[in-house]
Amino acid sequence: MNDLKENNIIVTGATGGIGNSIIKKLYDSGANILATGTKNEKLEELKKKFTNIKVLKFDISQTDNIENFIEDATKQLGDKLDCVVNNAGITQDNLAIRMSIEEWTKVININLTSTFLISKFAIKKMLKNKKGKIINITSVVGHTGNLGQTNYTASKAGIVAMSKSLAIEYAKKNINVNCISPGFIKTAMTDKIDEKFKDVIISKIPSARLGEPEDVANAVIFLASSHSDYINGETLHVNGGMYMA
């Protein structure tokens, strides 16, 4: 979409399958992108692949440094921030009665608390801009629940509720906060799923296939653009009909 040309956009979790697709779509749309992740080699690969992209290594679990991260990233983008895509997240699966407090806390802190803090400090920049877009990547299991993922599902459901509250607080300031909730997408994570279990998952998807990373990236492009200016506090489900809100 042409109206993303020259927009300054931060993408977290940029080096994974979905992150890579988001970067490509935004790059093709003419956006100025700062990609962040925890692996230097992966970030350097992105830099070689996409001319002029900016990269900044950062671990979002370092919550005390998130404000400085947003400050540094915004400076690299010319002191103007138009959009943030909160794509980074982790899983640490276990049955509830076996789940340690460390497994619970780590997932909640990285997936939910860090997303809140990135959004908070990005909104401060956007208020000066008098406009902005926050796009938070959640998950279908944040709506349905899932075996062995009480921590992950809680974090992803929390992102949805948090995003609604942020949208209410800042809609009058021309800042939109929305979520994208992917279903089962073809990534390195789903590649590890046993084929029999994968067949069970696909049997529950009306589209009868796993999604592609590009399906999520297309939703990001829409929510980052002016075509979504009157959409706020919503969750766009990208799951082939597996869950219908």
Nearest alpha carbon to residue 36 among 74, 64, 5? 74
Q: Cα-flanking dihedrals φ and ψ of residue 93, to 5°?
A: -80, 145
Indicate the residue type of 69.
F
**Known active-site residue 170:** no
DSSP code per residue over 5-29 = TT-EEEESSTTSHHHHHHHHHHHHT
Maximum Cα–Cα distance across the chain: 52
Catalytic one of 152, 170, 230, 243: 152
Q: Cα-flanking dihedrals φ and ψ of residue 175, to 5°?
A: -115, 125
Beta bridge partners of 83: 9, 133
Beta bridge partners of 185: 211
Catalytic machinery residues? 152
